[in-house]
Amino acid sequence: MNFELLIAPHVRQMHAYTPIVPFEVLSQRLGIPVEQIVKLDANENLYGPSPKAVQAMAAANKLHIYPDPDQAELRSAISDYIGIPSEHILCGAGADEIIQLIGMAFLQPGDGLLDLPPTFGMYRWLADITGAQYLPIARQADFSIDVDAVVKRQTLNVKLIFVTNPNNPDGSTIDDATLKQLLALPLIVVLDEAYIDFSSQPSRAAWVQQYPNLIVLRTFSKLLGMAGMRIGYGIFPSAIIEHMWKLKQPYTPTVASSIGAIAALSDRAHLRDNVQRIVAERARMGELLSDLGWLQVYPSETNFLLCRVTNGMTRDRATPGKTVKSYLEQRGILVRYFDRDNLRDCFRVSVGRPEHTDRLIEALREMSETELKSENSKFKNRTEQSFV
């Protein structure tokens, strides 16, 4: 018997995702020590968590006991931070776990999931693992949402729409009127606010108390600098959250990450300073990138910037974004490239510390001087060969 056939058909059909290359492997491959690699490819917070969080995690002494499945202390600390009662909050191992729970709660094979690409890839993954129909509605050239197209895609079995605000990978936001148009539809709107702390726009988390079809996602991975601890949460309307608790495995997040998260939230001064530092650096980095003269930098309300290569010398290449990414990688600077139609001439770069920006800009200046401007450069030939 071929036991593989026992795997659910929609899982057999799923394509495998390319995992990211671990830091150490990359460092060996490039021959660059780990400490010299500038990691600007995953929108992490390069200032890390509050020292209070690190101390609290190091001092954690109940590691042999399972975490509180009610997450009482953690939810109360979050409630205090966002100003919404604990009853609406459920935490998990990253916002990713909450996304998976939402899929378990709402989607059966054949149900529809509306996605607004280009955006975060986990929503598509959710459609794949649940056997739901993946219904992408491409964003417009300025990355705004095509609401008319969304309205036209309404069918009985469409259950969810994922809206990332601000959006990853471009950093644009959704206005109140557009969000209300989506909330008027007969489906669940999952508003992913992973980057909202870096935005001038306020969170819509409190709206879950008025809109029975709104779910808001937040994470400790970005502003709170704890991506490695895997902790995030969802804010749900009362009628929905009781079902989420039934589906959730009891013991996420871990004891250590919960203790760290509570301490991190208590250090408001550190959080405020980090937002200011990152927002200021975003503006400085944006100007320096634009000043290169061959990049269009999209306005961003996040801790990353999307850049489009506009230089005439690269326009005719199929994948200029990949060219830049590979060039930077050879110099130990990691940025993100997306192999998708409308993003092949783009790369996304996280806002790190000022010294990271300086390394990035130095490498890009070197690239424009020595490589891009030389029509017959070896670099051009080399990259074109390697991408065939």
Q: What's the rounded Cα separation, in Å, for the pair 242 and 239?
A: 6
CB atoms within 10 A of CB 362: 12
Single out the residue of 221, 252, 300, 383 in contact with ligand PMP (rule: CB under 6 A): 221
Indicate the burial class of 27 (C-beta count within 10 angstroms; 0-12, 13-18, 19 or more). middle
- Distance in angstroms (rounded) separating the CA atoms of residues 207 and 54: 33
Whether the CB-CB separation of 339 and 322 falls below 8 Å is answered with yes
Strands of the sheet containing 304-309, edge to edge, are 295-297, 304-309, 346-350
Question: Per rule CB under 6 A, is residue 96 in the interface with ligand PMP?
Answer: yes
* Member of 103, 232, 286, 320 binding ligand PMP (CB under 6 A): 232
Instruction: Rule CB under 6 A: say whether 117 interacts with ligand PMP.
Output: no
Residue nearest to ligand PMP (CB): 94
> How many residues contact ligand PMP, by CB under 6 A?
13
User: For ligand PMP, which residue of 164, 303, 314, 383 counts as binding (CB under 6 A)?
Assistant: 164
Stretch that binds ligand PMP, among 60-68, 90-98, 139-147, 276-284 (CB under 6 A): 90-98
Instruction: Pick from 120, 211, 327, 338 the residue near ligand PMP by CB under 6 A.
Output: 120
Stretch that binds ligand PMP, among 17-25, 32-40, 93-101, 339-347 (CB under 6 A): 93-101
Residue 257 found at the interface with ligand PMP (CB under 6 A): no
Beta strand 214-219 pairing with 232-235? antiparallel
Tell me if 196 contacts ligand PMP by CB under 6 A: no
94 binds ligand PMP (CB under 6 A): yes
Cα 214 to Cα 82, 239, 262, 302, 318, distances in angstroms: 16, 11, 25, 22, 40
Determine if 194 is a binding residue for ligand PMP (CB under 6 A).
Answer: yes
- Alpha helices in 107-253, H assignment, sequence order: 122-130, 147-152, 176-183, 238-247
Residues in contact with ligand PMP by CB under 6 A are 43, 94-96, 120, 164, 168, 192, 194, 219, 221, 227, 232
